[in-house]
Structure 1
């Protein structure tokens, strides 16, 4: 795969397509992603979906997860949350941490399936055991909100810290929130400074709004202030 992906994107995409057509499952999966992203090729979500279908026939968990994502977001197919949950479940059963996370999220919120937060927490825990940072953050949310577990800000803090240390920007922000609530502002600012490293522009806008509402006098870390300036100046659709 390293050889297939080497060189200019357009040439690599052509080689990748040939390998995908030859039945190489990983090439089918990567080529599908490139078609979604427009990397080395003209973006083509319907074709991306078809390549994920090809890869899924071999039971490739990431392909199953990507079929779920396509149905969840309308990438190449109409939005269908029931089908999204179906594919996420298969990816989770295949042992993929992202499949576990996505299926657990669907179970938590009733997205295409009945709400079952007990089952959701079980899947989040399984994904977290595999090192999945976003699942660690979600477990923290369960404890903070008291969903199917006893409410515990201390347990929430423990899980948010694990997510933050593993690099999840939501975990970093949530950890900072709880630290500020405990009066540990210097430690909170250190974590807030790391949020822009991986956060989406939309999340940064939400974070800034929350901080302005609840901590209007808080001096923002330089990295967060710079990211806020850039994202708040950009169109909201970005």
Structure 2
């Protein structure tokens, strides 16, 4: 891991307060009831159900309830709702804060394997990287963006693998390296990422030594 990444890992010992749940929207009273296979007392499952129905105001409410209870996936989905304004007033700063709270436990290299089976972790790491890259709720920072892309990529997230490869191609936050770029593009493509006109990544000279 590059030294600048190690320094960042040491600097993430903050603790984050859980958000307060939103008030139930009025339309929740007339919404389509959840099917029997969904536990009505599980706000995360209910929120996902309504999100898939494009009932974003209702889904955001249930995600906020799950987030307020400290559910990592609930925190992630509520953060994404806040970032994009899906059913709730757009708030990129709060979205970033919540995403950071999800990733707080995996800022060190030794945590990767321990948390690798938690699907929300690589997603949140990738989205924090996107926040730093795009300036969503936080000042743009290429080094931090690449740092979080690398963590998510090492946990197998294909979008993060592509993003990290592109960082190596452009030298955004890392030293430019077509070798490293090819490595991560290959990993992403093996997982189904659709790469256009990228046959060069399979040239023998880019094989890992």
Equivalent residues in 2 for 1:1-238, closer than 5 Å:
13-16=35-38, 18-20=40-42, 28-38=43-53, 43-95=54-106, 96-169=121-194, 175-179=195-199
Q: Which runs of 5+ in 1 are unaligned?
A: 1-9, 21-27, 170-174, 185-238
Cα distance in structure 1, aligned partners of 2:201 and 2:183: 15
Distance 1:114 1:134, change over 3 A: same
Cα distance in structure 2, aligned partners of 1:181 and 1:92: 31
Cα distance in structure 1, aligned partners of 2:35 and 2:79: 24
Richer in helix (by share):
1
Q: TM-score, normalised by structure 1?
A: 0.59
Checking the alignment, whether the CA contact within 8 Å between 1:92 and 1:99 is kept in structure 2 is yes
Q: TM-score, normalised by structure 2?
A: 0.67
Cα distance in structure 1, aligned partners of 2:131 and 2:163: 12
Cα shift readout 1:77-96 (whole Å, capped 9, x = no counterpart): 12222222122212222551
User: How far does residue 61 in structure 1 lie from its aligned partner after superposition?
Assistant: 1.4
Structure 1 residue runs of 4 or more that deviate by more than 4 Å after TM superposition: 180-184
Report the number of matched residues: 159
User: How far does residue 127 in structure 1 lie from its aligned partner after superposition?
Assistant: 1.2
Q: Which runs of 5+ in 2 are unaligned?
A: 1-31, 107-120, 205-209
What RMSD, in angstroms, separates the aligned Cα atoms of the two structures? 2.5
